[in-house]
Amino acid sequence: MQNKIDYKNIKKVGLVVRFNSNFDEEISTLENILKKYNVELLFLKNFKKPNLSHYDIDDLFKISDFIISLGGDGTLISVCRKAWEYDRAVLGIHAGHLGFLTDFKMDQAEDFFQSFFCGHFKTENPFLLSVHLKQKNGQKMKDYAFNDIIIKREDQTSMAYIEVYHQDKKFNEYFGDGLIVSTPAGSTAYNLSANGPIVYTLAQAFILTPICSHSLTQRPIVLPKGFELEIRAKGCMFSIDGQKNYKMDDFKSIKVGLSHKSVTLIRPENRDYFQILKEKLNWGS
């Protein structure tokens, strides 16, 4: 994954907008800002505006120098899961609600790009979760999560029983509403709501957090990169970043761990992770 952005030679920037949103004013503002730097803004095919350059999702990522995500954290997460495939950096502009992952709003965009095209910005490379899926017919699949993987009972009126193995030995078992496997970047999402720990975004670790455990001895645990777990559960669903959903019963095995793959996020030079925790989560108050 790239760590440096060739900001002096940016020519084309792709834009992904939150689905079913009307951001015409914000998009026009972005176009006008980027034109000052002779940069073209590119759009997806389903973007309903004439006289613009439209591309399908793969072509957009291939030809863009980097990608702008305009929306909330959900939009940014879906963009990041695609961006690592094409080694493209992502800039998140906030147009949602909480916006913990996105960095600034449109009224700050002009100041950001003025600094960006002078080289005053930074990049971060949070690691993804890898998900190895083996179907009952032997077919293998692989996916990645930016935030988390969540295992929950299909029938919400009953209790989930989830077994976790490490190197073919039982690591732990969970009785309750479910289990969250989270990246550090996702530690401030559902993981935090379930009383999981906040883990610094760039830490090389991942988190297991039980959801409403029926045992007082079950507590969240932080595990290192290189530690792979196999998860088994019957009658449960699992969700990747809340955007892809599967039935556990359709798979022979599901293995998760922190991947060596990461996503490059473009950040303002003065971004302070701990100040964001204080402002948006009232951390330490």
Instruction: List, by residue number, the catalytic residues.
Output: 73
| CA 131 centroid distance within chain | 14
Taking the C-alpha atoms of residue 35 and residue 254, their distance in angstroms, rounded to an integer, is: 47
The per-residue DSSP string of the chain comes to: ------GGG--EEEEEE-TT---HHHHHHHHHHHHTTT-EEEEETT---TTS-EE-HHHHHHH-SEEEEEESHHHHHHHHHHHGGGT--EEEEE-SSS-SSS-EEGGGHHHHHHHHTTT-EEEE-PEEEEEEEEETTS-EEEEEESSEEEEEESSTTS-EEEEEEETTEEEEEEEESEEEEE-SGGGGTHHHHTTPPP--TT-SEEEEEEES-S-TT---EEEETT--EEEEESSEEEEETTTEEEEGGGEEEEEEEEEEEE--EEEETT--HHHHHHHHH-TT-
| Residues 164 and 173 sit within 8 Å (Cβ to Cβ) | yes
